Amino acid sequence: ETAVTSNFIRNIIAEDLENGKREQVVTRFPPEPNGYLHIGHAKSFSLNFGLAEDFSGRCHLRFDDTNPIKEEDEYVDAIKADVRWLGFDWGEHLHFASDYFDQLYLWAVQLIKAGKAYVDSQTAEEMRENRGTLTQPGVNSPFRDRSVVENLELFEKMKAGEFPDGAHILRAKIDMSSPNMNLRDPAMYRILHAHHHRTGDKWCIYPMYDFAHGQGDSIEGVTYSICTLEFEDHRPLYDWFIEQLGIFAPQQIEFARLNLSYTVMSKRKLLQLVNEQYVSGWDDPRMPTLVGMRRRGYPPAAIRTFCERIGVGKGASWIDLSVLEDCVREQLNESAYRRLAVLKPLKVTLSNYPADKIEMLEAPNHPQQPELGKRKLPFSHELYIDRDDFMEEPPKKFFRLGPGREVRLRNAYIIKCEEVIKNSDGDVVELRCSADLDTLGQNPADGHKVKGIVHWVSAVQAQEVEVRLYDRLFNQENPDKAENYLQALNPDSFQTTTALVEPELIAVEPGSTFQFERVGYFTVDSKDSKSGQPVFNRTVTLRDTWAK
C-alpha cells in the first residue's frame, strides 16, 4: 500500500492559501538540544519540512535552548546532521531561542509596564498549593498586586543576579480561576544561575518555554507552528502572549505524536539506556534514534516513506514496528546488492569436481536490475552451505538438501547429496555431493525439476567476518506499560557470530548495505569495521519473523 495517507494539516494550509488567510508557508522544527533525535522527531520534522516543500515555503531549524542545564553543543551538531541525513535543508534559517533572550526580556518588561506581569515571591511550595486543581480554582498570590514600579525594580534585580535560584519568578497576570491551568498566572521567567551553551554567563534568568516559543515563532514569521497534542492546552497561552504584545500571530496546530510498538521514545529513558550501558551508545543499532538507525543501515528514504505512510492525525497513533521494518525492506530490496554469506556453515565436498580447479562464475549484483552489473564468484570442490539447509530426515515439503536430494546452488550448479558424514557424536559434519556440471544457468538435460535454491560459499576463498544479529530492543509491545520499562528489555536483542562470506564482501565501504541472499540485509558497521575487516550489522530480516 503506497497511497499517501491523510494529513489534515496539509488540508488546512491548502485552504488557508486558497482563501487568502495566509500568503506563505513558514514552518519550523524546534528540538531541544538535550539528546539525539529519534523516529518520533523524524515524524515531526518530515512533516514540517515536507509541508514547506509542498507549498514552496520554508522551514526553519530552531533550537529550543531555554533550559541551560541539560543542553549541549554536542546535541546541536548531531541534530543538524540527522535532519540533513533525511535530506532536509533549512538554508539560512538556523536559529536558537537564545538568540531572542534580549528581545524576550524587553517584552517581559513591556508586559510588566502594562500590568500584565508581576514578580511573585512565594515559595515553590506555596505556588503549587495556590495554583488549585482541575476542580478547584487557584488563589491569588499575595504579591499579585505589586506596583509596576516595584515589579520593574525586582525584575531588574533578578536579571542583575541579586537573588538566589528560586527566590522569585516573573508570572503573567491572567486568571487564577481559569479552567485551563496554563492560564493560572503561568511563569514567564525563572532565576537560574547556570552556564548556557551559547550565551555563557550573560543571563541568570531564563524564559520559560511558553514565554519563548510563540514569540520565537512570531519573530521568524512562522505561519504554522506545528506541535504535538500535549500543547493543545497551551494554545490559549500561546495566543495570549502574542496578542498582549501585539506582534505577528502564527497559528499553532497540534497533531498526535508517534508511538511505536516495542520502542521507548522518552529522552529521559533513552539517556538512561545509554548511561547505564543497556546499549552501547546513542548510536547503538537497536536504538530508535536516527543515529542508531543510520548505523543499523536504515536508508533515509525508508524513514521518509514511513513518515509519509503513517499519516498525520489528531487521534493517538500507535504504529507497529513492522510498518517501519517493511519500509526498510522495500527500499533495500530495490537498492541492495546481492551477495552470498553463510552464517552456520556445513561443509560440502563435490566428489566429481576436480580438486585443483577454481572456476570464476559470474553472478548479477541484483537479479532484477541487470544494469547494476555482475561480480565474480569463485567456485571449487569444497563449499559451505548453511546447516539449516540440510535435514537428515526431511519432510516432503522441505525443498532443500537431504540424503539423495537435489538443490541448486545459487548462481551455480545443481548438486545431489550422496553421502552424509558424521563425527563420533553423531553430528553431521560434512556432505559428499555430486554436481551436475551441465546445469550452469540451465535446467537438467532430462527436464526434471529442482525446486530448492540454497546459498553457499567456496571454502578456500571464503572470508570470515563478524556479523551482529540485532533484534528488537524490547520484547513487549508497550514497554512503558511494564512496571519498569527496563524489565521489558529483550535479552536476545544482540548476538554476535562469525560468518563465511564471498570475497566481494571484504573490500566494502562502511555504511554500505547488502542483501545476504536468503538471510537478510546487512550493513557494514561504520564504527567498528577496519579496512579489509568489515563488521556487518543485520539491518533487517528478509521477512517479518517476530513471534508475538
Binding residue numbers for ATP: 32-34, 38-44, 228, 257-258, 265-267
Residue 144 vs 257, nearer CB to ligand ATP: 257
Q: Which of 22, 62, 173, 267 is catalytic?
A: 267
Q: How far apart are CA 383 and CA 323, in angstroms?
A: 37
Min. distance of Cβ 265 from ligand ATP in angstroms?
Answer: 5
Q: What is the closest distance, in whole angstroms, from the C-beta atom of residue 36 to Mg ion in the complex?
A: 13
Give, as one character, the DSSP assignment of residue 116: -
Question: What distance in Å separates the CA atoms of residue 118 and residue 267, rounded to the nearest whole number?
Answer: 33
Smallest separation (angstroms) from Mg ion to the CB of 89 = 23
Instruction: Spell out the alpha helix ranges (H) of 92-173.
Output: 101-113, 124-130, 148-160
Q: Which of 32, 330, 418, 430 is catalytic?
A: 32
| Residue 152 interaction partner, one of ligand ATP, Mg ion, none, beta carbon < 5-8 Å per kind | none
Binding-site partner at residue 44 among Mg ion, ligand ATP, none, CB < 5 to 8 Å by type: ligand ATP
Torsion angles phi and psi, residue 53, rounded to 5: -65, -50
| Of the candidates 62, 420, 74, the residue with the CA atom closest to the CA atom of residue 222 | 62
# residues contacting Mg ion (CB under 5 A): 1
Return the residues of window 20-39 that contact Mg ion according to CB under 5 A. 32
Choice between 89 and 334, CB closer to ligand ATP: 89
**What are the residues facing 59 on neighbouring strands?**
27
Query: Measuring CA to CA, how many Å separate 284 from each of 6, 196, 262, 275, 279?
Result: 33, 29, 16, 12, 6
Nearer to ligand ATP, 300 or 402 (CB): 300
Which residue out of 10, 70, 257, 347 is catalytically annotated?
A: 257
Confirm whether 267 is a catalytic residue.
yes
What is the CA 57 to chain-centroid distance, rounded? 25
Question: C-alpha grid cell for residue 32?
Answer: 531541544
Closest CA to 14 of 60, 59, 50, 54: 54
Nearest approach, Cβ of residue 204 and ligand ATP (Å): 23
Residues that bind ligand ATP (CB under 6 A): 30-32, 40-41, 43-44, 64, 227-228, 257-258, 265-267
Q: Are 214 and 97 in contact (CB under 8 A)?
A: no
Residues 6 or more apart in contact with residue 517 via CB below 8 angstroms: 338, 339, 340, 410, 455
**Residues marked as binding?**
32-34, 38-44, 64, 209, 228, 257-258, 265-267
Q: CB under 8 Å to 228, separation ≥6 — which residues?
A: 44, 254, 255, 256, 257
Q: Kindly state the smallest distance separating residue 32's Cβ from Mg ion, in Å.
A: 5
Q: Which CB atom, from 32 or from 53, has the smaller least distance to Mg ion? A: 32
Q: Identify whether 126 is a catalytic site residue.
A: no
The residue (of 41 and 60) whose beta carbon lies closer to ligand ATP is 41
Picked from Mg ion, ligand ATP, none, the partner binding residue 261 (CB below 5 to 8 A depending on kind) is none
Active site residue 72: no
Q: Name the closest residue to ligand ATP (Cβ).
A: 40
Interface with Mg ion (CB under 5 A): 32
Residues labelled as active-site residues: 32, 257, 267
